[in-house]
């Protein structure tokens, strides 16, 4: 048991470091070609902080661990919303732009609603699952989201200058080392978390919703906490909401394309929690400090998640 826990921790370490190396290398490469900081943040950094979820889910889907696939996605989104925004908002109240309130937050709600509908119906298959056709529909919606993001970037375009990056070999070594860390770490987490669940008689569903979800959300947590201390609200909330959209529309769809994923209706409760939390975040924008998540509202998010976790594990 101890060896499994240590290997899971090693896997998380490789996931976090792998994501860091991948983002660093890709950012240097992007700057070499004069790609703007905005474009880097919306694409490379967003991908980097969600890369652990992507790799873990790809491995879990290939190996047929459906409960870890759904547990990781839904659990990560709840962790992002309740824990990360809760901690960040307690550190410093989060000011939110109008576009985030009226576009990104509602889109994250729609994505969760789509997951609930597609997983519970038989629109494109004979059983409750995310079929390959449904996964294709989700990835098409993600494509439309990316189109919207890049269209927004054009209306707010800034000139970025080409910057020297040093050795090309070093940059590619960082990128390849990052990918290797993600792949090895992802396999370690999935394999050892599954063995741990079996040895304790705990379902893969609970392991996916707790240990795996929290571990793969560590890059988002670190990024958002650092942003909070630097008083950069846009990065803090944009990282969380963007990751939640990314997780459902891209990562779940890739998992479903690898193999259709059977759905356990017990996950409905966690999706309802996600939907309620998103509604709370939206309504918080119009109470107290308007267009802001105040400390007391952030505390409600964090305390709610602690209570929910105790109930789930107990």
pLDDT at 159: 47
For residue range 132-156, list pLDDT tens digits in order: 999 999 999 999 988 887 776 665 5
Q: How far apart, in whole angstroms, are the C-alpha atoms of residue 98 and residue 78?
A: 23
Neighbouring CB atoms inside 10 A of 33's CB total 10
Domain ranges of the chain: 2-313
pLDDT at 125: 52
pLDDT at 152: 67
Q: How far apart, in whole angstroms, are the C-alpha atoms of residue 126 and residue 185?
A: 34
What are the CA-CA distances from residue 202 to residues 192, 205, 210, 310, 312 (Å)? 13, 8, 11, 15, 11
Write down the CATH superfamily of domain 2-313: NCX, central ion-binding region (1.20.1420.30)
Neighbouring CB atoms inside 10 A of 298's CB total 23
The whole-chain average pLDDT of the chain stands at 83
What are the CA-CA distances from residue 281 to residues 98, 213, 230 (Å)? 13, 21, 22
Check if the beta carbon of residue 216 is closer than 8 Å to that of residue 71: no
Q: Which positions of the chain have pLDDT values less than 70?
A: 27, 30-31, 33-46, 122-127, 152-167, 232, 234-235, 288-289, 314
pTM above 0.75, yes or no: yes
And the tokens for 79?
């962790």
Handedness of CA 114, 86, 104, 106 (dihedral sign): positive
């Amino acid at each position: 048991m101890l060896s499994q826990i240590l290997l899971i921790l090693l896997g998380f370490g490789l996931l976090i470091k792998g994501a860091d190396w991948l983002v660093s290398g890709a950012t240097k490469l992007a700057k070499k070609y004069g790609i703007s900081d905005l474009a880097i943040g919306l694409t490379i950094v967003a991908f980097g902080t969600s890369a652990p979820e992507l790799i873990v889910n790809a491995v879990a889907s290939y190996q047929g661990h459906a409960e870890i696939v759904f547990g990781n996605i839904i659990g990560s989104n709840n962790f992002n919303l309740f824990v990360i925004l809760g901690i960040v908002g307690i550190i410093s109240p989060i000011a939110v732009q109008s576009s985030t309130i009226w576009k990104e937050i509602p889109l994250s709600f729609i994505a969760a609603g789509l997951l609930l509908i597609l997983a519970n119906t038989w629109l494109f298959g004979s059983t409750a699952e995310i079929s390959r056709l449904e996964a294709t529909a989700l990835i098409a919606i993600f494509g439309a989201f990316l189109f919207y993001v890049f269209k927004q970037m054009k209306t707010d375009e800034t000139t970025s200058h080409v910057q020297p990056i040093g050795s090309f070999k070093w940059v590619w070594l960082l990128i390849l080392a990052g990918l290797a860390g993600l792949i090895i770490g992802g396999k370690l987490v999935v394999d050892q978390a599954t063995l741990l669940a079996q040895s304790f008689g705990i379902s893969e569903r609970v392991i996916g919703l707790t240990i795996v979800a929290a571990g793969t959300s560590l890059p988002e947590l670190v990024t958002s906490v650092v942003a909070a201390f630097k008083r950069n609200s846009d990065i803090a909330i944009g990282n969380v909401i963007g990751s939640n959209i990314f997780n459902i529309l891209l990562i779940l769809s890739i998992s479903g394309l690898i193999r259709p994923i059977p759905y356990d209706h017990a996950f409905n409760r966690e999706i309802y929690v996600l939907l309620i939390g998103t509604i709370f975040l939206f309504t918080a924008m119009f109470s107290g400090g308007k267009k802001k998540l105040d400390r007391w509202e952030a505390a409600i998010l964090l305390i709610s998640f602690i209570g929910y976790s105790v109930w789930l594990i107990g």
